[in-house]
Amino acid sequence: MYDPHSLHAEEFIDHEEVQETLAWAAEHARDAGLIDGILAKAALCKGLSHREASVLLACELPDRVEALYRLANRIKHEFYGNRIVMFAPLYLSNYCVNSCVYCPYHARNKHIIRKKLTQEEVAREVIALQDMGHKRLALEAGEHPAMNPISYILDCIRTIYGIRHRNGAIRRVNVNIAATTVEEYRMLREAGIGTYILFQETYHKQSYEKLHPAGPKHDYAWHTEAMDRAMQGGIDDVGLGVLFGLEGYRYEFAALLMHAEHLEAVHGVGPHTISVPRIKKADDIDPDVFDNGIDDETFARICACIRVAVPYTGMIISTRESQAVREKVLPLGVSQISGASRTSVGGYCEPEPEDENSAQFDVSDRRTLDEVVRWLMDQGHIPSFCTACYREGRTGDRFMSLCKSRQILNCCHPNALLTLKEYLQDYASPATRAVGLDMIAKELDKIPSDKVRARTIRCLSAIEAGQRDFR
Ligand code: SAM
């Protein structure tokens, strides 16, 4: 029986409830009255249940789908404004004891070059990232208790936060490592991580077990209950995700929202972010062997449905997606994107030679950060390098309540402009700088409060004079 309050994976992701949801959604895919009611509820910006959102995902009425896209765009602007937060992944180690059949890190893959960064190499990678202008990282590592124990991850976090280079500093480190114990989550929290991210891969238990035939990740309950342990360990901000392509997307979507409902029911706060990776070609991996690949149109629909179902949750798109797909989904509610990512271990300092491959997957968007920043601005988005919320303790339910009351916009928009100004001053090409300065001037007019606008103008001048890191 579906019970969002349960701490057991198979009760909060109840298989029968997912199937009933899908059947009910399919039955109502052309039910204009019901769909209009759900859209009207979504327009109140208080979110939707997994059942309601699944009807929107199944909807077969083109004009209602258009209405959904318009609403997703409006909700994105109401909660997040036109800013897009930037980050980069940092791959620490691809040693892994698991056997995920879609992932080139799987233990039996003998062609992939195994690498693990030393602390000196971590420092070099971080300086390369800082020199591009990045302020926010997502750490990535395979699961290997001997090669990548928690002490190694903690050393890396300390190294990263310790590096000051020219005007650069990494101000927020998010972590995407395998499910672990409450004790180890507590250590990550004490090390000052931002969000703990763990993709479920698939919520379908039977498929999950087939796709993870051996290793600690085989245990569905251990993996699915990880966010509860993370929250028990004091981590306020957790990031969910599904690897689309492994199972039927409608199943994953309903279950993902059930997971969000569960976190809200048990911990009083839903996921901080949701990621929507799609499976990609990689060493030893051919995505075409998985039957559940989704086309770009379906992908866009999923993004729009997530946006209206959980309006206060950030949505992340990585460089797995091409420029064209990113352009399609940015207006539908994405709030964070990565830029200039390298998915190989050590790849920021030394791009991999052709005959080596330690990468996790092929990247589709290969532009530089400067190009991505300019492209965002050309489309009317403010690239933001802001990390203020987390550093001011606005995490978990404090962030959510600010976000729900739309207060976040009063500080996020000016902060985005300040961090963009730092980027333009320290890292941008002359062409990007010109576009950015013009954007900042126009965006200043949109700050409603005279007091906040005056402070922002003062801080912008101080940044020009060499000061950094206003909060
Ligand atoms: N090892 C950690 C774990 O088990 O959760 C997480 C780190 S892994 C480096 C990050 C994510 O990359 C995985 O959770 C998976 O969803 C994704 N991934 C793996 N293989 C992929 C592929 N071929 N294409 C796209 N994404 C992939």
Helix (H) or strand (E) holding 274: strand 273-275
Task: Tell me how far the alpha carbon of residue 446 lies from the centroid of ligand 1, in angstroms.
Answer: 40
Mean pLDDT across the chain = 94
Q: Is the CB of 361 under 6 A from ligand 1?
A: yes
Task: Tell me how far the alpha carbon of residue 103 lies from the centroid of ligand 1, in angstroms.
Answer: 6
Buried b / exposed e over 11-39, threshold 16 CB at 10 Å, is ebbbeebbeebbeebeebbebeebbeebb
State the ipTM, two decimals: 0.97
For residue 258, pLDDT over 70 is answered with yes
Q: Is the CB of 198 under 6 A from ligand 1?
A: yes
Q: Ligand 1, residues 143, 199, 208, 212: which to mutate, most atoms within 8 A of Cβ?
A: 199
CA-nearest residue for atom 25, ligand 1, is: 279
Provide the pLDDT confidence category of residue 394 given band limits of 50, 70 and 90. Answer: confident
For residue 100, pLDDT over 70 is answered with yes
DSSP state string for 56-101: HHH---HHHHHHHHHHHHHHHHHHHTTEEEEEEEEEEE-------T
Q: Is the CB of 290 under 6 A from ligand 1?
A: no
Residues 6+ apart with CB under 8 A from 297: none
Nearest Cα neighbor of 466 from 435, 425, 414 is 425
Residue 67: CB atoms within 10 Å: 18
Looking at residue 404, what is its pLDDT?
74
Task: Tell me how far the alpha carbon of residue 444 lies from the centroid of ligand 1, in angstroms.
Answer: 40
Q: What angle do CA 251, 232, 51 make, to 5 degrees?
A: 25
Please give the single-letter amino acid code of residue 279. I
Q: Looking at the DSSP assignment, which residues form a beta bridge with residue 102?
A: none
How far is residue 442 from each of residues 82, 304, 309, 377, 436, measured CA to CA in Å?
13, 28, 32, 12, 10
Nearest Cα neighbor of 181 from 146, 233, 141, 216 is 233
For residue 50, pLDDT over 80 is answered with yes
How far from the centroid of its chain's Cα atoms is residue 128's Cα? 22
Q: What angle do CA 361, 365, 369 make, to 5 degrees?
A: 115
Residues 6+ apart with CB under 8 A from 66: none
Q: How far apart are the C-alpha atoms of 339 and 362, rounded to whole Å?
A: 14
Q: Is the CB of 142 under 6 A from ligand 1?
A: yes
Residue 80 tokens, joined: 């997040």
Provide the pLDDT confidence category of residue 133 given band limits of 50, 70 and 90. Answer: very high
Roughly how many angstroms between the first and final C-alpha of the chain, as a whole number? 46
Task: Tell me how far the alpha carbon of residue 318 lies from the centroid of ligand 1, in angstroms.
Answer: 12
Looking at residue 85, what is its pLDDT?
96
Q: Is the CB of 277 under 6 A from ligand 1?
A: yes
Task: Tell me how far the alpha carbon of residue 406 lies from the centroid of ligand 1, in angstroms.
Answer: 33
pLDDT in tens, 349-372: 987 666 666 777 778 888 999 999
Task: Tell me how far the alpha carbon of residue 355 lies from the centroid of ligand 1, in angstroms.
Answer: 22
Residue 261 tokens, joined: 């409902």
Task: Tell me how far the alpha carbon of residue 192 lies from the centroid of ligand 1, in angstroms.
Answer: 23
Looking at residue 198, what is its pLDDT?
98
For residue 241, pLDDT over 70 is answered with yes
How far from the centroid of its chain's Cα atoms is residue 57's Cα? 21
Looking at residue 13, what is its pLDDT?
98
Q: How far apart are the C-alpha atoms of 278 and 33, rounded to whole Å?
A: 33
Question: What would the mean pLDDT of 35-51 be, rounded to a whole number?
Answer: 97
